[in-house]
Amino acid sequence: MDHYDIVIIGAGLAGSLAAIALAREGHRVALVGPRPAIADGRTTALMDQSIDYLKKLGLWDEVAPLTAPLVAIHIIDGTKRLLRAPPVNFRAPEVGLEAFGYNIPNAPFLEILEKHEASLPTLDRIPVAATTFDFGELEARVGLGDGRVISADLVVGADGRRSAVREAAEIETFTWSYPQTAVVLNFAHELPHQEVSTEFHTESGPFTQVPLPGNRSSLVWVQKPRDAEETLRLAPEVLSRTIEDRMQSILGKVVAEGIPQSFPLSGHTARRFGKGRVMLVGEAAHAFPPIGAQGLNLSLRDVMTVVELVGPPAGGRLPADTGDRFDGRRRIDIVSRTASVDLLNRSLLSSFLPVQALRAVGLQLLSSAGPLRGLLMREGIHPGSALQSIKESLREQISRKRA
């Protein structure tokens, strides 16, 4: 029976990045999971902190040609409600950055990760499903779909919303659903996007255009489920014109590409993010609507924490309480991000006038108050930086008074 330092279940973006990061540290790693049957048509906007991590892993030079920078983010209230918010513009130079991050197509990104996996001598790629788990006192054992059994000091569950690792570890989840479906596709357009992402807030959810290289963009269009079904049935030329109208023709003529995909929206958080020999990352631990480019960025912070906790190989077995320590380290970040995205999404759906008023006032403050907008941008890019900035400001004020 083959023994590994760490077995990672789930070979999507989060699992693949975790495997590469841990193998580069020198650990013997197994990445377990079948390859996707259907190419993922979505894109992922990775923020500045995540891009820095890709550079650290030696991946960025290959990924960069696929990407488009996000220099500015415009939020437009596209509702027809009585209380509407003014447009809000977030610009990277306001916080000293060339770009907030970069938009990356998922399918070719995963292909690059698979190539790097194959080049790492301490990483074994096992393209079958994990079928059984036994978390013992001395090690964890994983049964594979091809009949083999492997063992490990630690197991990382990166196997998505219906995580078998989470279930085997007897970790419960708090789950909720939304009356929404996300339609995703890419489209070409007549006018340049100027590296600007535009998010129209509508009564059914956000309609978000994100730049791709050239005169192309990706779209995440959150709708009511029945409306999403109708959108998927539209003829290509009708779909293209519908997108152009929704975009208020700010990018000129639109041509939809390929076949749109849809994903029902729901959310969940695990009651624990780690337990004993188990750590949960990505959607095995948390999931929420595609608002504010938080999904994979949050998952990458999971991965960073795994790598930091495990550390470089030091001889001997990895500690059996690593999962418990991981849970403590990740709790505040995950819970706060999940709550903020959920609150923003529900504020769009609410027909309750006071809720609409609070949302409009909040966006008005962001539009008019530069320091507040800058604080929010820094927090979105580097979690915890807003609190640190407030602490430093208070220290400066106290020092001045004492002087």
Same domain, 232 and 299: no
pLDDT averaged over every residue in the chain: 85
- Which CATH number covers residue 21? 3.50.50.60
Tokens encoding 147: 């009949």
Rounded percentage of the chain residues whose pLDDT exceeds 70: 82
Same domain, 122 and 239: no
Distance separating alpha carbons of residues 41 and 218, to the nearest angstrom: 9
Tokens encoding 145: 């779909």
Distance separating alpha carbons of residues 397 and 399, to the nearest angstrom: 5
Q: How many CA atoms lie within 13 A of 276 on its CB side?
A: 17
Decide if 300 is inside a domain.
yes
- 3-class SS of residue 214: coil
Same domain, 239 and 197: yes
8 A C-beta contact, residue 296 and residue 240:
no
- pLDDT of 7 over the 60 cut: yes
8 A C-beta contact, residue 100 and residue 70:
yes
Same domain, 7 and 125: yes
- pLDDT of 338 over the 70 cut: yes
Same domain, 227 and 191: yes
Same domain, 317 and 187: no
> Domain end: 213, 248, 266, which one?
266
Q: Select the more confidently predicted residue: 378 or 111.
A: 111
Average pLDDT of the segment spanning 98-107 = 90
Distance separating alpha carbons of residues 111 and 385, to the nearest angstrom: 33
Same domain, 19 and 133: yes
Same domain, 94 and 218: yes
Q: Select the more confidently predicted residue: 85 or 110.
A: 110
Per-residue pLDDT of 347-384, as tens digits, reads 655 443 444 444 454 555 444 544 444 445 555 555 55
8 A C-beta contact, residue 233 and residue 201:
no
pLDDT for position 308:
96
Average pLDDT of the segment spanning 142-166 = 96
pLDDT for position 269:
94
Decide if 365 is inside a domain.
no
Decide if 164 is inside a domain.
yes
> Domain end: 230, 248, 266, which one?
266
Average pLDDT of the segment spanning 144-160 = 96
Checking phi first, is residue 59 left (phi over 0); if not, alpha (psi -120 to 50) or beta? alpha
DSSP state of 94: G
Same domain, 261 and 198: yes
Same domain, 114 and 259: no
Give the β-pairing of 88-91 and 43-47. Answer: unpaired
Decide if 397 is inside a domain.
no
pLDDT band (50, 70, 90) for residue 8: very high
Q: What is the pTM of this model?
A: 0.84
- pLDDT of 296 over the 60 cut: yes
Average pLDDT of the segment spanning 294-321 = 91
Per-residue pLDDT of 176-199, as tens digits, reads 888 889 999 999 999 999 999 998
- pLDDT of 270 over the 90 cut: yes
Longest CA–CA separation in the chain, Å: 72
- Which CATH number covers residue 237? 3.30.9.10
pLDDT for position 349:
52
Same domain, 142 and 47: yes
Same domain, 246 and 133: no
pLDDT for position 91:
85
Q: How many domains does the chain have?
A: 2
pLDDT for position 387:
46
Give the β-pairing of 72-77 and 29-32. Answer: unpaired
What are the b/e assignments for 311-320, b being 16+ CB within 10 Å? eeeeeeebeb
Domain that holds residue 283: 3-61+104-175+267-345
Residue 115 CB partners (closer than 8 Å, separation 6+): none
What are the b/e assignments for 168-197, b being 16+ CB within 10 Å? bbebebeeeebebbbbbbbbbbeeebebbb
In order of 153, 180, 218, 341, 392, the CA distances from 226 in angstroms are 47, 9, 22, 23, 50
Residue 27 CB partners (closer than 8 Å, separation 6+): 5, 6, 122, 310, 313
Average pLDDT of the segment spanning 309-328 = 93
Strand pairing partners for 263? 182
8 A C-beta contact, residue 178 and residue 29:
no
Decide if 160 is inside a domain.
yes
10 Å CB burial of residue 138 (0-12, 13-18, 19+) is: exposed
